[in-house]
Amino acid sequence: MKTLVYSTRPDTRSTFDAMNSRFNHQLDYTEAKLASETAALARGYEAVCIFVNDNANADSLNGLADAGVRLVALRAAGYNNVDLEVAARRGLTVCRVPAYSPHAVAEHAVALILTLNRKTHRAHDRVREGNFSLDGLMGFDMYGKTAGIIGTGKIGAIAAEILHGFGCRILASDPYVNQSIVTYATYMPVPDLLAQSDIVSLHCPLTPESHHMINFDALMKMKKGAMLVNTSRGGLVDAKGCIAALKIGQLGYLGLDVYEEEGDLFFEDLSNQVIQDDLFARLLTFPNVLITAHQAFFTRTAMDNIAETTLGNLTAFADGKPANLVTATGVSGRNKPA
């Protein structure tokens, strides 16, 4: 299929080109993000391929449909950036990559947890400068701590399994029980989980209901000095509330791989520019905040799987058997209700 791939970086292009030798689609790449202003670039293409910070809102989708596009292929699992009702109205099929390496994301969440705890990033900087002092580097044993997992789908269940391996007590919150972790995880409502956990890791999708589920009030329900890690979607967490809770020591550690306004920042080299987002700039000043730029998915395994499933989705659509669809009523494949 003739496909325009938005938001392309060199690694996207090389991975997709290598995998495409098996699929033979006509792929053209643009560094531009999908937005209402860039939708017209897709004129003459049957499909577009988009990523997490492309904005497939009503204007963009109308632009794509007017340009003759019929398929929007997400090279991601989350689809909160797509207006699915407008897509359906305009006859645009939307597909995604439901799972490419849940291990990659779960392992990154644990990397953030361990780094925040043992401060290896700060220790590395110190040692390079010949400073071998341990002041301020004291951590805690993971063994025996309580870890709360919000969202126990594919990624959350793996995070639970890894943390259980450390000897953590596992609490879970999800409208659906994941049978793979029930032998050791205790399910409970989010407020109870927040009140009991030393570490809270978010693995649920961003929806209108989950938007800002962790705000100042929720943070005040957590144990004083507890850790929050978000590798899911930025909109789950209210950054302003986090800053307020960090300033009073209520929130002890914050690890973010995603940020609500990341679309203006992440995936770009802005090291010669002044950051205009004052909330983000404030977050960077805390010694107990660790931010990565939406890289939890970024492993060789995951990238190959993303390319393979996305190109397979293009083939399936071209063959009249669309796969991995996302519709306004959701996606198929669920665990049992809690």
DSSP E strands, the chain: 2-5, 26-29, 47-50, 71-74, 93-95, 146-150, 169-173, 176-177, 185-187, 199-202, 226-230, 251-256, 289-291, 336-337
- Minimum Å gap between C-beta 210 and ligand NAI is 4
Give the SS3 label for residue 4.
Answer: strand
Of 50, 190, 166, 51, the residue nearest 107 (C-alpha): 166
3-state SS, 99-135, equals CCCHHHHHHHHHHHHHHHHHCHHHHHHHHHCCCCCCC
Among 258, 283, 307, 326, binds ligand NAI (CB under 6 A): 258
Q: Does 263 bind ligand NAI (CB under 6 A)?
A: no
Among 4, 74, 105, 245, binds ligand NAI (CB under 6 A): 105
Residue 172, Ramachandran bin (φ over 0: left; ψ between -120 and 50: alpha; else beta): beta
DSSP 8-state secondary structure symbol assigned to residue 49: E
**Could you please report the per-residue DSSP string of 213-260?**
SB-HHHHHHSPTTEEEEE-S-GGGB-HHHHHHHHHTTSEEEEEES--T
Residue placing its CB nearer to ligand NAI in the complex, 150 or 311:
150
- Minimum Å gap between C-beta 160 and ligand NAI is 11
Among 34, 155, 185, 290, binds ligand NAI (CB under 6 A): 155
Q: Does 101 bind ligand NAI (CB under 6 A)?
A: no
Q: Which residue is nearest to ligand NAI (CB)?
A: 153
DSSP bridge partners of 149: 172, 201
Residue placing its CB nearer to ligand NAI in the complex, 46 or 55:
55
Query: Catalytic one among 96, 233, 260, 308?
Result: 233
Among 59, 67, 70, 78, binds ligand NAI (CB under 6 A): 78
C-beta neighbour count of 281 within 10 angstroms: 11
- Is 164 one of the catalytic residues? no
Among 128, 134, 135, 209, binds ligand NAI (CB under 6 A): 209
Q: Does 257 bind ligand NAI (CB under 6 A)?
A: yes
Which region, judged by CB under 6 A, interacts with ligand NAI, from 12-20, 41-49, 148-156, 241-249?
148-156
- Is 268 one of the catalytic residues? no
Among 29, 146, 233, 314, binds ligand NAI (CB under 6 A): 233
**Residues annotated catalytic, as ranges:** 233, 262, 294
Residues that bind ligand NAI (CB under 6 A): 77-78, 99, 102, 105, 150-156, 173-176, 203-205, 209-210, 231-233, 257-258, 294, 296-297, 335
